[in-house]
């Protein structure tokens, strides 16, 4: 054959199937552009020097991995849809004398053309928009703007390598789809699936059970640690349950509608319900994919926007004072009290030498021990890795003992506690009886101080494991009861925590400089003394990390949401176009027996309303069940504002619903033009 024959055939095939290939090419271009932008922001060094640039860079690197995985999965899905729509054409090629190798060459050049257009236009768009993305991100996190345009050769190369690999896999999959089908099967591919499926009650009940299990786990999670442990398990169950329910439930829905004679035997319902009944297995899978994408968008945008808009609240909760110092040492040592007093004097003296006016001083120490809390008792004998592997993390708790004299001095109260008694407080929903037993030592609970916990520890509500604060008569004597307890590595379970927080009256730069110098002094005094951790931090220095983290998450959430929305549009569009071609002959016959174009339009709208309200409705239900878990996860970032999360979720659901309605309007028009 002449040189250029196969490229010409490939180009002509793509042109004739422009309705299918145009959205696919747009998707490829968008994915390449977003990949380049994320890689550019994460690896080119343009974010160095920005507030929280290190954390934001890490977010962009994570986003690069996410977009790689999603691009692979989604481009495989769309290419499979394209090949399914082209099988009849390839079958005709086979009947006319082409063998599978010839068809493979056509597919190669189609993939090569797609690769060239996708990467060429995508890189051009990515490079062109990268500066805009950089400026937008800098504005979002309050960073300085550099008005210099640059192109990252590393990002260009990685984009080429990544998407070349993806397109190679796509080509091999396309060849596989055609190679293992006979010419007759290819020609009759558009008739596949014409046999109406039966309603599978077993599959439907199983789907409801799996979906219910995912919801149950989401509602059962009470602590942030459990949210970390179980969230992804619940997500997988919800995804599987969604597919099973929509595949089986959509078939069942058609059967129910067909049995309803008043509904079914109407011009605007008869054709739509009949045609849907023949393809509901595939239809249900498509609806489930749309539902999962919409749910991902809603959860991602709701959580990241809540974090970004509440970043100042998170910062103030985590760092209530301008300066904070912390030290931790495991085991019991009476000299630690004297050391803590010396550290307090030295740090305050050093701060005053740098012009600080010490106010709002909060300096105290506490002893801590963790274990398994149940029925008002903390079991601290957890010395086996096996036990830890199967433990219920909702019941892991940390007891923090504070001396009543320190408590009164630091927080301004006049409490009295006798030996063997305790004032108890917790920021979590933990039941505490009249007697609280820690190890083998019982304490009579004489009062609750739950409303004062944030004074002691402003982040108590967001701790990975719940903390129970106990104000006791003599903390040193109480601590001696737990010297013998060791973990499975033989290390002491008792820990001594020292806190020092105060305000200085210094400006932002002065606070940052003071925290740095106090950190050096802390290191000089504690180095070599066996402390597991110690540091000094400032409110303003940590602001950069907070802004970088939350701004990076929000920026990443916006980019990924755009990508998921476009992907959702492509799925809906392909679904409408492919079903339009399938229904074209049916509507043609119906027009010949008297069905008007107005009847066709009504039938189409009936089908759209019946089918496409399901994904957005179920996605909103998924979001409602996900919000309690998301709220627990956001507590780990210091956001304790459920109303803010609900507000952002409501706004995101409204915007997503409006966009989905617009997509419905546009794609239903494409369907109508095909069938009419």
Single out the residue of 405, 451, 461, 406 nearest to residue 424, CA to CA. 451
- What pLDDT digit, counting tens, does each position of 602-659 carry? 666 666 666 677 888 889 999 999 888 888 878 777 777 788 889 999 999 998 888 8
- What pLDDT digit, counting tens, does each position of 126-155 carry? 888 887 777 776 666 665 556 667 788 888
Q: Give CA–CA dist 673/676, Å, rounded.
A: 5
Name 550's Cβ contacts closer than 8 Å, sequence gap at least 6: 304, 307, 308, 311, 314, 637
Provide long-range contacts, Cβ within 8 A and 24+ apart, for 412-417.
413/452, 415/447, 415/471, 417/446, 417/471, 417/472, 417/473
Task: Tell me 155's DSSP state.
Answer: H
- What is the reported pLDDT for 392? 65
Spatial contact of 414 and 426, defined as CB atoms under 8 Å apart: no
- What is the reported pLDDT for 607? 64
Mark 132-145 as b/e (b = at least 16 C-beta within 10 Å). Answer: ebbeebbebbebee
Single out the residue of 35, 112, 20, 127 nearest to residue 72, CA to CA. 35
Single out the residue of 570, 468, 436, 560 nearest to residue 59, CA to CA. 560
Q: Give CA–CA dist 78/571, Å, rounded.
A: 8
Q: Give CA–CA dist 319/321, Å, rounded.
A: 6
Task: Give the residues across from 467 on adjacent strands.
Answer: 398
- What is the reported pLDDT for 160? 93
pLDDT of residue 386 exceeding 50: no
Least confident of 197-211, 381-395, 469-483, 505-519: 381-395
Give the whole-number percent of the chain exceeding pLDDT 70.
Answer: 72
Q: What is the mean pLDDT of residues 107-121?
A: 88
Q: What region does 530 belong to: left with phi over 0, alpha with psi -120 to 50, or beta?
A: left
User: At how many degrees (to 10) do helices 224-259 and 201-220 cross?
Assistant: 150
Task: Give the dihedral of Cα atoms 645, 650, 652, 658; nearest 10 deg.
Answer: 180
Number of neighbours of residue 473 by Cβ within 10 angstroms: 17
Task: Give the dihedral of Cα atoms 235, 236, 239, 241; nearest 10 deg.
Answer: -110
- What is the reported pLDDT for 408? 92
Name 282's Cβ contacts closer than 8 Å, sequence gap at least 6: 193
Total residue count of the chain as it appears in this document: 676
Give the whole-number percent of the chain exceeding pLDDT 90.
Answer: 15
**Summary mean pLDDT of the chain:** 78
pLDDT of residue 586 exceeding 70: no
- What pLDDT digit, counting tens, does each position of 195-217 carry? 455 556 677 788 888 888 888 88
Q: What is the mean pLDDT of residues 170-176?
A: 82
């Amino acid at each position: 054959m002449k040189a250029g024959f196969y490229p010409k055939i490939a180009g002509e095939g793509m042109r004739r199937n422009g309705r299918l290939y145009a959205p696919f090419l747009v998707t490829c271009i968008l994915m390449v552009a977003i990949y380049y932008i994320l890689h550019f922001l994460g690896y080119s060094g343009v974010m160095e020097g920005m507030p929280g640039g290190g954390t934001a860079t890490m977010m962009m690197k994570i986003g690069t991995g996410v977009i790689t995985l999603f691009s692979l999965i989604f481009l495989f899905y769309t290419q499979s849809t394209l090949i399914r729509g082209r099988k009849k054409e390839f079958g005709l090629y086979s009947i006319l004398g082409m063998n599978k190798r010839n068809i493979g060459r056509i597919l190669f050049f189609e993939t090569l053309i797609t690769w060239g257009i996708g990467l060429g236009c995508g890189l051009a768009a990515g490079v062109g928009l990268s500066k805009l993305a950089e400026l937008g991100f800098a504005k979002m996190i309050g960073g300085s703007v550099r008005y210099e345009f640059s192109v990252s050769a590393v990002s260009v190369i990685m984009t080429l390598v990544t998407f070349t690999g993806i397109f190679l896999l796509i080509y091999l999959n396309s060849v596989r789809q055609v190679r293992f089908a006979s010419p007759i099967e290819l020609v009759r591919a558009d008739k596949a699936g014409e046999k109406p499926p039966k309603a599978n009650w077993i599959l439907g009940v199983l789907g409801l059970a799996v979906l219910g299990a995912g919801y149950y786990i989401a509602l059962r999670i009470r602590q942030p640690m459990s949210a970390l442990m179980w969230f992804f398990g619940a997500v997988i169950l919800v995804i599987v349950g969604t597919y099973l329910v929509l595949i089986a439930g959509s078939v069942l829905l058609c059967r129910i509608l067909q049995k309803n004679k008043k509904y079914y035997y109407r011009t605007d319902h008869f054709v739509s319900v009949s045609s849907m009944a023949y393809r509901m297995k595939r239809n249900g899978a498509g609806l489930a994919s749309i539902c999962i994408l919409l749910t991902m968008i809603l959860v991602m945008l709701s959580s990241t926007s809540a974090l970004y808009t509440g970043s100042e609240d998170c910062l103030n909760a985590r760092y209530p004072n301008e300066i904070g110092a912390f030290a931790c040492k495991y085991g019991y040592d009476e000299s630690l009290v004297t050391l803590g007093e010396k550290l307090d004097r030295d740090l305050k003296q050093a701060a005053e030498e740098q012009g600080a006016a010490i106010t709002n001083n909060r300096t105290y120490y506490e002893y801590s021990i963790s274990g398994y809390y149940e029925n008002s008792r903390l079991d601290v004998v957890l010395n086996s890795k096996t036990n830890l592997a199967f433990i219920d993390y909702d019941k892991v708790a940390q007891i923090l003992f504070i001396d009543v004299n320190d408590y009164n001095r630091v927080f301004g109260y006049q409490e009295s506690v006798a030996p063997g008694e305790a004032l108890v407080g917790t920021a979590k929903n933990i039941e505490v009886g009249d007697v609280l037993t820690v190890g083998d030592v019982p304490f009579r609970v004489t009062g609750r101080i739950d409303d004062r916990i944030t004074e002691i520890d402003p982040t108590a509500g967001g701790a990975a494991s719940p903390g129970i604060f106990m104000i006791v008569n003599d903390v040193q004597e109480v601590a001696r009861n737990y010297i013998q307890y060791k973990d499975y590595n033989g290390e002491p379970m008792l820990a001594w925590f020292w806190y020092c927080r105060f305000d200085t009256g210094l400006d932002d730069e002065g606070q940052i400089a003071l925290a740095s110098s106090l950190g050096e002094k802390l290191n000089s005094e504690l180095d070599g003394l066996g402390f597991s951790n110690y540091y000094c931090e400032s409110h303003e220095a940590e602001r950069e990390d907070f802004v970088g983290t939350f701004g990076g998450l929000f920026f990443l959430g916006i980019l990924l949401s755009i990508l998921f929305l476009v992907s959702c549009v492509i799925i809906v569009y392909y679904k409408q176009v492919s079903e339009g071609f399938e229904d074209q002959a049916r509507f043609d016959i119906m027009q010949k027996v008297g069905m008007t174009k107005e009847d066709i339009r009504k039938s189409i709208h009936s089908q759209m309303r019946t089918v496409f309200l399901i994904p957005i409705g179920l996605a909103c239900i998924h979001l409602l069940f996900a919000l309690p878990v998301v709220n627990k996860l956001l507590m780990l970032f210091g956001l304790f504002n459920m109303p803010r999360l609900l507000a952002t979720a409501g706004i995101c659901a409204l915007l997503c619903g409006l966009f989905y309605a617009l997509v419905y309007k546009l794609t239903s028009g494409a369907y109508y033009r095909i069938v009419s």
